[in-house]
Amino acid sequence: MPHVHAPGATPRRPRRVVVTGGAGFLGSHLCTALVGHRVEVVALDDFSTGTPANVAHLLDDPCFRLVRCDVTDFVHVPGPVDLVLHFASPASPADYLRIPVQTLKVGSLGTWHALGLAKDKGARFVLASTSEVYGDPQVHPQPEHYWGHVNPIGPRGVYDEGKRFGEALATAYREHEGVDTGIVRIFNTYGPRMRPHDGRAIPTFIRQALRGEPLTVAGDGSQTRSVCFVDDLVAGILAFAATTHPGPVNLGNPDEMTVRRIAEDVVRATGSSSVIETVELPVDDPRMRRPDTTLAERLLGWRPRVTWREGLARTVEWCRQDLAASADGEGASLAAAGHG
């Protein structure tokens, strides 16, 4: 476990951890980090947005077990559990607009079941909440005490309100059921294993640039985002999990960039000749997004270390290899079918 914590604090090292959504983007990186520290991990995933390929490198490790499980149905894990990291949820607009009811169910029923597991095992529970609870914020940057500006009946409401409900449920379990719960609010994160077609800006821009297609920037691109490399985020999550703090705690990179600048940097990083085109701005798209990370710095001694330039280069390289592997796989399939 990363030794990132407040001076004088004694971080707790879990022996056995359950990661819901363990085959997803963030979940798989958490599993990799935990197994790397020789912590036993049980990853639960229904593979609706995650994939076993994300944890294929862990499947032969005795510290790792992957279980197909829909947390909205029931969660049962035999044996002791010290920590439950609840990361099961669609996180891309493309996903939660496609499966809105399932998104609400995992934010409510899934969180309830995961909390029940933590209560039964006497485990620490960490909820992966989101900067989306702030909606289209009217306070900038966003501190944890800000209540947000969310449209509950807008297209993004299924994700935003599911997470807000999850926060309320985790708090109720802490105050009334005696469960050691904590909440992290995760801001925009990027890195290897993001799906090229998941609909989020960075993987979309990289995929378009690598294929020589126009980069589609929503609106005029002046809206801002603060993006954090996945390795930094994982370190912050595990440092927070090792405390007994209830949160919520913002985790993200406080360096703010316009979406247009992100697109321009992707073009440069890929060496692409792609041009930038504008498309219609999605409904309720936040105009600005930047975390106030004062609490994370004070509580955990945590701050992002990976620069945007370095993180982007590593992400582009992974996407380049992933797209090449996908193309090779498609070619092999066509040849096997007699179309090569």
**How many CB atoms sit inside 10 A of residue 92's CB?**
19
**Of the residues 96, 134, 159, 173, which is catalytic?**
159
Angle ∠(17,45,194) on CA atoms, nearest 5: 100
Nearest to 209 by CA among 285, 315, 282: 315
- Give the whole-angstrom CA distance, residue 340 versus residue 331: 7
What is the signed CA dihedral for 230, 231, 233, 235, rounded to 10 degrees?
160
From first to last of the 340 residues of the chain, give the pLDDT tens digit: 543 444 334 467 899 999 999 999 999 999 999 999 999 999 999 999 999 999 999 999 999 999 999 999 989 999 999 999 999 999 888 888 899 999 999 999 999 999 999 999 999 999 999 999 998 889 899 899 999 899 999 988 999 999 999 999 999 999 999 999 999 999 999 999 998 788 888 999 999 999 999 999 988 999 889 999 999 999 999 999 999 999 999 999 999 999 999 999 999 999 999 999 999 887 777 787 899 999 999 999 999 999 999 999 999 999 999 888 776 655 544 344 444 4
Q: Are 248 and 170 in contact (CB under 8 A)?
A: no
Is this prediction's pTM over 0.85?
A: yes
- Give the whole-angstrom CA distance, residue 290 versus residue 70: 32
123-151 burial: b if 16+ Cβ within 10 Å, else e: bbbbbbbbbbbbbbbeeebbebebebebe
Q: Are 106 and 91 in contact (CB under 8 A)?
A: no
Domains of the chain (ranges; CATH) run: 16-193+228-252+285-304 (3.40.50.720)
159 is catalytic: yes
